[in-house]
Amino acid sequence: MRLVADNGSNFKAAGRFWNEKYENICWYPCAANCLNLILQDFSKMPYFVDLAQHGCQVTKFLYNHKWPLGWLRKRLGWMKILRPGDTRFATRFIALKSFYDHKLDLQAMVTSSEFHA
């Protein structure tokens, strides 16, 4: 039998306890929690902090102004840019991936003659 739990020290201790008491029970760390902890460490790097802040500013600008958002929505294949959430660190990476996916549309918008008018 396998026991999958969080990576906290109390869960590790409980896993060891159950493993010692019942040899057929093995404790495994939760993969989602492990990935979230790794992404948490990455998100503390200065480069990423700056990148995430700039991404938030661009997202706020786009969603608070009708013209740029309307222009982008007219683009073929446009899908909305995801907003980063504070609940999980992975959402910041997903939001930045969304920017990367829309890179050409965003570049086309700022180089458009309509944008400069």
Tell me: the pLDDT tens digits for 52-97?
Answer: 888 888 888 888 988 888 888 888 888 877 776 665 677 888 888 8
Q: Which residue has the higher pLDDT, 28 or 111?
A: 111
Q: Is 51 in contact with 96 (CB distance < 8 Å)?
A: yes
Is residue 61 located within the same domain as residue 104?
A: yes
> Quick one: pLDDT band at residue 117, thresholds 50, 70, 90?
low
pLDDT reported for residue 80: 79
Domain span holding position 66: 45-117
Q: Is the pTM of this model over 0.85?
A: no
The token pair at 47 is: 């480069």
Check whether residue 61 and residue 30 sit in a common domain.
no
Domain co-membership, 13 together with 54: no
Tell me, what's the pLDDT at 46? 93
Residues 11 and 64 in one domain: no
> Are 35 and 59 in the same domain?
no
Considering the domain architecture, whether residues 67 and 92 belong to the same structural domain is answered as: yes
Same domain, 2 and 50: no
Phi-psi region of 100 (alpha: psi -120 to 50; beta: other; left: phi over 0): alpha
Residues 33, 50 within the same domain: no
Looking at the fold, whether 8 and 27 belong to one and the same domain comes out as yes
Q: Give the Cα separation of 18 and 37 in Å (integer).
A: 25
Report how many domains make up the chain: 2
Same domain, 55 and 106: yes
Domain shared by 30 and 70, yes or no: no
